[in-house]
Amino acid sequence: MDFDNFSEKFRSFFLSSGGFFLDGYDLSVISYALFFIKGEMSLNAVQEGLVSASSLMGMAIGAIIFGALSDKLGRKKLMGIDLFFFSIFALLSATSNNFLELFVSRFLLGIGVGGDYPISSTVVSEFSPTRSRGRYLMGSVSMYWIGTLFSAFMNLVFLPTGEQFWRYSFAVGGLLAIPIVVGRIKLSESPRWLASKGLMKGEGIPTPEEENKGVTWRDLLKGKVGVTLMSLSAIWFLFDVASYGIGLYYPSLLHQFAFPSEYETLYGTMLISVGAIVGYAIAEVAVDSAGRRFTLMAGLGAMAFLLLLGGLISIRGAGLVPYFMVFVAMEQWAGAVTLFYPAEIFPTSVRSTAQGVTTAFSRVGAVLGVFFFPSMVKYLGLSESLMLFGLTSAIALAVSAVAVKETKMRRLEDISVSKT
């Protein structure tokens, strides 16, 4: 595709969204591959949990490092480096022969994809038109589930090659990053970042004072700015405990509680991905009309209700597929807003840094969910585990009701939080 034929905002949208696509591909491709890897590498329960969570651990580190560097050095300079990092270690993970090699390579690729979270979401927010910024941000995040669906398709394609099919699936993820990295080289620097540094001036262009609100990275730890950061971090943390804790085990849950066949499990996983994409399509309409608060709280409320309901009725069998399809459809309403909201609410001087910090907190929640969920299912049962995650979603809903203000159709310089 010749991106030079697109306007800058569309090019920035598609190339930024590529990072979320690769994240969805990478985190989902391992969930099915683990069926075969744990036998091939003789992984115990702890090692299996660490492999599942390894890229999430790396993402927490990458988000903080790249987020801070993006505010200091600019968005453009880092947008290719993070995914180049991802590409190299995604390819190396495909050649892993033991637990240590697989864990390290996936941890390091996680640093790359984690670094892309604050940069990509910041770029989309800064390039998007005010009236439709929510749709651009929602659409960008939705690429995660396109990547998830594509990973299931790749597993389906390579499965007939034998039990080491996962190596081909992993390698595809690394190769997919290359054209995105090349395309990002042509992107222009964010005009808002340039304005915040006093490098872009003119009529209608915000001044550095308007862009930065006098906020520096030190202010992220105190006062009104610090409270906002911690509140949004807590919401995303609680959301990810449930979202990733369950989400990375859809194939395992379907295989264990519904379908003995690997192919039926793959088809079920693909249908769940379709449910998520449908959810995003509906949220695209709601996020700029009904607003961020409604979209977020409707998603978290639906998650809490469905998880508690699933636990109470002890859902099993083929019914898990439509149940999880509805769950992920509504989950995306909350997931997208928790992800992109920090890129709207913080001023340009710390926008990417704050996004990196909230991302890091969310990955800690994701790691806890992913690491402990198999043990919870084993010792507590599926129903009890669903209900426990329903509780974390309900707490996130309560915090959101207090901490999240509406930002729809308002300029970034008008809605960003200041020290006063």
Which pLDDT tens digit goes with each residue over 173-228? 999 999 888 888 888 888 899 999 999 887 778 889 989 999 999 999 899 999 99
The encoded tokens of residue 78 equal: 């880092």
Spatial separation of the C-alpha atoms in residues 227 and 366, rounded to whole Å: 22
Over the stretch 89-139, which tens digit does the pLDDT of each residue have? 999 999 999 999 999 999 999 999 899 999 999 998 998 888 999 999 999
Displacement of CA 325 from its chain's centroid (Å): 18
The maximal CA–CA distance of the chain, rounded, in angstroms, is 65
Spatial separation of the C-alpha atoms in residues 325 and 273, rounded to whole Å: 7
What CA dihedral angle connects 145, 4, 174 and 339, to 10 degrees?
-40
Displacement of CA 112 from its chain's centroid (Å): 13
Percent of the chain with pLDDT over 90: 58
pLDDT interval class at 9 (50, 70, 90): low
Spatial separation of the C-alpha atoms in residues 86 and 91, rounded to whole Å: 9
Identify the residue with better confidence: 17 or 420: 17
Report the interhelical angle of 223-247 vs 292-312 (nearest 10°).
40
For residue 3, pLDDT over 50 is answered with no
Q: Tell me what pLDDT residue 5 has.
A: 43
pTM of the model: 0.88
Query: For residues 29-38, b (16+ Cβ closer than 10 Å) or e, as one string?
Result: bbbbbbebbb
For residue 399, pLDDT over 90 is answered with yes
The encoded tokens of residue 215 equal: 């906020």
Domain 3-415: which CATH class?
A: mainly alpha
Q: Tell me what pLDDT residue 65 has.
A: 96
Over the stretch 332-376, which tens digit does the pLDDT of each residue have? 999 999 999 999 999 999 999 999 999 999 999 998 888 888 788
* Mean pLDDT for the chain overall: 90
Contact 243, 369 (CB under 8 A): yes
Over the stretch 12-67, which tens digit does the pLDDT of each residue have? 788 888 888 998 898 888 878 888 898 899 988 788 888 988 998 999 999 999 99
Q: Tell me what pLDDT residue 1 has.
A: 31
Spatial separation of the C-alpha atoms in residues 329 and 310, rounded to whole Å: 15
208 Rama class: left (phi>0) / alpha (psi -120 to 50) / beta: alpha
Spatial separation of the C-alpha atoms in residues 117 and 106, rounded to whole Å: 17
- Please measure the distance between the N-terminal and C-terminal CA atoms of the chain and give it in whole angstroms: 46
pLDDT interval class at 316 (50, 70, 90): confident
